[in-house]
Structure 1
Amino acid sequence: MSFYGFARSIVYGILKPFYRIEAIGRENIPKEGGVLLCANHIHNFDPPVVGIMAPRPISFMAKEELFNVPVLGKILPHVNAFPVKRGMSDREALRTGLKVLKEGKVLGLFPEGTRSKTGELGKGLAGAGFFALRTDADVVPCAIIGPYKAFSRLKVVYGKPIDMKTLRENKASAEETTEAIMQEIRKLIERYKKN
């Protein structure tokens, strides 16, 4: 078993029962080929929660500071995370993200760039649109519907891949494309929050 698989099984065994996590729409993640998975961001545990419930390994961009944290910084590269400098255009992180998608792997992103303090969906940054337009990866929206409270039930909803054809043909901007992705995440939140 790979380190990723080992770490995933341990984290799954802890978080899934503790937050009573329910995954919906796992079948919407294509079994092969590049996938850009875009989720809302409400808690520090979002990356492991999205990762353990997905049917394929995910490479997440993580803020650079986390790689300086003792122990965690050593583990992150082994669970497919790579650093991104926040608040500036990080060419190295963009190159790494494109490489992940072009190699037919899954890239996980939180387009808001930071955790929502209110739990409400914020504005997405252009990065998600950049990756969606620069590759032919499938773009899958994901909604994390809380709260993160012990034994209270947390939902992770993977939506159907977004039809990117029109946006790509019309040469939409990265900002417009990100907004289209955020709309799909918003629809998932509204649809599954009630259930």
Structure 2
Amino acid sequence: MSLYKIAKNLVAIIFYPLYRIRVYGKENIPKQGPVIICSNHISNLDPPVVGITSPRDIHFMAKGELFEKRFMGKLLVGIQAFPVKRGMRDRNALRKGLEILEKNETLGLFPEGTRSKTGELGDPLAGAGFFALRSNALIVPCAIIGPYKPFRRLHVVYGKPMNIEHYRNSKASAKEAADAIMLEIKTLIENHEAKTTLLDK
């Protein structure tokens, strides 16, 4: 068994009961072909949560500084993470992301680029739009809803794959595509919160 599978199983054993995770729309993630899963970012625990709730193995970007430590670097590579230099256009990271998609694998992205300290959605960076426009990947929006507090319910919602052919054909900018992705995430959050509110009444 790979290190990724071992880590995924261990984290799942701890996180599912600890955060009472409930997953919706897992069937919306295509079983084959290149996929980009784009999620809001409310906690440093978001990558492992998306990782354990997705039926597909995911490659995530991680801060380049983390790879400078020998043990941590090997661990991150073992769980399919790759480095990105924050605050600048990292061509190596962009190239690596495209290579992952060319191999029909799954790339996990947080369009906001950094964790929201308030829980509110932030303005997306162009990165997610770049990968969406430069690949043939299907874009699956993901919403993480709820507090990361022990034994409080955490919801993970996967939406249906986005059709972004219009943006590709119209030569849209990467920022325009990223904005469209964030709008889908926002809609997922609002619709799910509305449903759970009705169920609670």
Using the size of structure 1 for normalisation, the TM-score is 0.97
TM-superposed CA distance for 1:63, in Å, is: 1.3
Distance in 2 (CA, whole Å) between partners of 1:5 and 1:55 is 11
SS of alignment partner, residue 130 of structure 1? helix
Match of 2:68 in 1: 68
SS of alignment partner, residue 93 of structure 1? helix
Change over 3 Å in CA distance of 1:70–1:119 after alignment to 2: farther
Count of residues paired in the alignment: 195
Distance in 2 (CA, whole Å) between partners of 1:69 and 1:190 is 40
Distance in 1 (CA, whole Å) between partners of 2:148 and 2:57 is 23
Match of 1:100 in 2: 100
Tell me the amino acid that sits aligned with residue 107 of structure 1. Answer: L
Q: 1:86-125 maps to which residues of 2 (within 5 A)?
A: 86-125=86-125
TM-superposed CA distance for 1:58, in Å, is: 0.2
Match of 1:191 in 2: 191
Match of 1:14 in 2: 14
Tell me the amino acid that sits aligned with residue 26 of structure 1. Answer: K
SS of alignment partner, residue 161 of structure 2? coil
Change over 3 Å in CA distance of 1:69–1:16 after alignment to 2: farther
Using the size of structure 2 for normalisation, the TM-score is 0.94
- Superposition CA RMSD, Å: 1.0
Segments of 4+ moved more than 6 angstroms = none
TM-superposed CA distance for 1:69, in Å, is: 4.9
Tell me the amino acid that sits aligned with residue 15 of structure 2. Answer: L
The Cα offsets for residues 67-110 of structure 1, whole Å up to 9 and x where unpaired, read as 23564333111010001000100000000000001100000000
The Cα offsets for residues 134-170 of structure 1, whole Å up to 9 and x where unpaired, read as 0110011000112001000101111100111111111
